[in-house]
Amino acid sequence: MDTTAARRNILSRIRAASGRAAQPEADELEAAADYLARHPAGPRPPMPEDAAGLVARFIAEARLMGTTVDEVATLAEVPEAAARYLTAGGLPARAVAWRDLEPLPWAQAGLSIEFRKPQDADLIGITGCFCATAETGSLALLSGPGMEVSAGLLPETHIAVVSASRIVAGHEEAFALMRAERGQLPRAVNFISGPSRTGDIEQTIVLGAHGPYRVHAIVVRGA
């Protein structure tokens, strides 16, 4: 049984024990949607209203969080951009990647890419992202078939392909987009804001404590 089905069964049993139907009924879903619509928003910093402004804000905030950023015009240019980054950093030209990125010309860029879940020996992981947030420079990754979130968490280096059209203002807009496009949230939603870090020991920042040492975003202007 997959984990999504297991979660659904567990929640169904909890609902049954409280005298409710196994699945949420229409009036419950409407009440939840009404609550979200009426819930007052908290204070937020001013954000650009145009797409170009959101892209610029995302890039600036991502860099503040330690994410390096490159920009390309089309998806077809992503492999060359990834190769440039890896070469400049003296990193291997081998990686694992999400399956929906397989049609891109990786071999022409001199990269050897396997489209599977990462293993212990994999040093580079290449993913897409559901969306990105300009307010915090974060990447939103949703779990699902062929979109293993572990590809952005286990390898030492995470390269993320970010469509400029999927950069939203903040987390509120990200969750609204998830509800609009997916209806129900997947098993895992991860917001990644730069390389993994900790300051537990003498308040000294150490990168790579619980995930990648490096995060590199390739923003695709035409996607």
Question: What pLDDT does 96 receive?
Answer: 97
pLDDT, tens digit, for every residue of 192-215? Answer: 999 877 766 666 666 656 768 899
pLDDT, tens digit, for every residue of 114-133? Answer: 999 999 899 999 999 999 99
| Mean pLDDT across 90-111 | 97
Q: Is the pLDDT of residue 75 over 90?
A: yes
Structure tokens at 53: 């402004």
pLDDT, tens digit, for every residue of 124-176? Answer: 999 999 999 999 999 999 988 888 889 999 999 999 999 999 999 999 999 99
pLDDT, tens digit, for every residue of 7-45? Answer: 778 888 888 888 888 777 888 878 888 887 888 878 888
Q: Which CATH number fits domain 52-220: 3.20.20.70, 3.90.330.10, 3.40.1160.10, 3.40.50.10420?
A: 3.40.50.10420
Band of pLDDT at residue 4, cut at 50, 70 and 90:
low
Q: Is the pLDDT of residue 3 over 60?
A: no
Contact 190/152 with Cβ under 8 angstroms? yes
> CA nearest 217: which of 121, 97, 129?
129
Q: CA angle, 112 as apex, 92 and 98 as ends, to 5°?
A: 100
pTM: 0.84
Contact 110/23 with Cβ under 8 angstroms? no
Domain ranges in the chain?
1-40, 52-220
d(CA 185, CA 119): 26
Question: What pLDDT does 77 receive?
Answer: 98
